[in-house]
Homo-oligomer: A and B are copies of this chain.
Amino acid sequence: MSKKVRIGLIGAGRIGQLHGKNLVRSVPNAELVSIADPFLNDTTYAWAKNLGVENCYKNADAIFEDLSIDAVFICSATDTHADYIIQAAQAGKHIFCEKPIHYDVATIQRALDAVEKAGVKLQVGFVRRFDHNHKVVHDTVASGKLGDPHIVKVTSRDPVPPTMDYVKGSGGLFMDMMIHDFDMVRYLSGSEVTEVTAYGDVLIDEKFKEYNDIDTAIVMLKFTNGALGVIDNSRKAGYGYDQRTEVHCAGGCVQVYNDLDNTATISTPEGVTSAKPMWFFLERYNNAFISEEQAFIQSILNDEETLVKGMDGLMPVLIAKATELSLTEGRCVKLSEIEEKFLTVPL
């Protein structure tokens, strides 16, 4: 393999362009050589050319067929992820795939199977693992210096609700939004989820009901290592992107607050004001995106395991399914029940 990893980008929408720009500007060992997007137009083309991308295609096949390409970034619509993974794996390309791999467990397992057979690397885009704050929580817990984790807490609130057009195809709050937090609790606890109970409702906007979705939820979780966890989600914080994590262990607690726009404090007789949390994921996880891309490239160059593997893409989907069932049936749901129901091959 060349010392630079040659990359093909599949899907040049918002998140695809983010990865593309970062790869060119901030990942020295990556070389973005081709993009493929079925909706390729003049704007996309100009964007790509401006970044120095050599080839622009409408069809991803051209990327899979290009023997000079080492790895692909799959940033297309969610329902195409699994197929692209399989095609990329069969073409022997390493794969970075945006989350979630798919909503269907069997389809995910088929994709992971293809990856394993091909022996290529797969990294799933759970970007928060690369956040400078959450990573300290993880590292502190993983170091063992605080002892066993007892309570894992994640707060995740979007600044404003998505459009109803987005909601319609989102897969629902658990699969679209809390899935990041399901990944986060696995990451922070260093353990697997064994049971969930979900409370959720439509408190922000009645329109969510039209799509059988909710906008506010709290979910409790149990973990194999005995820890207990809780996640709270809101589609509308209003004051910015509220992203806090906390793990309380036998020997103490590690927690992170939000990144703020600035550290200014203004004190007057009327009160004391300070900056709001960064607005949304593009601001807050800006550096985390770069870190996850660099990590993926490094795992290829050093022939090491990726930091977010295929199983890390599958498990949160299973947890989301258990959570959906818990909410629907108003009861505690064990993960084993979901695994028996959905897994085509046992874990």
Contact = CB atoms under 8 A, between A and B. Distances in A.
B332 A197 contact: yes
Contacts of A52: 52
Give the number of copies in the complex: 4
A227 to B, nearest CB: 8
B264 A137 contact: yes
Nearest to A259: B263
Contacts of A259: 263
Interface in A217-275: 217-218, 220, 222, 226-230, 232, 234, 236-240, 242, 248, 250-259, 261-269, 271-275
Contacts of A265: 254-257
Contacts of A273: 271-274
Contacts of A26: 25
A6 interface: no
Contact of A218 (B151, B240, B252, B274): B151
Interface string A111-146: 000000000000000000000110111001000001
A276 to B, nearest CB: 6
Contacts of A229: 218
Contact of A140 (B239, B261, B264, B330): B264
A168 interface: no
Contacts of A236: 250
Interface of A: 25-26, 28, 50, 52, 132-133, 135-137, 140, 146, 148, 150-151, 153, 157, 197, 199-201, 203-204, 216-218, 220, 222, 226-230, 232, 234, 236-240, 242, 248, 250-259, 261-269, 271-277, 330-332
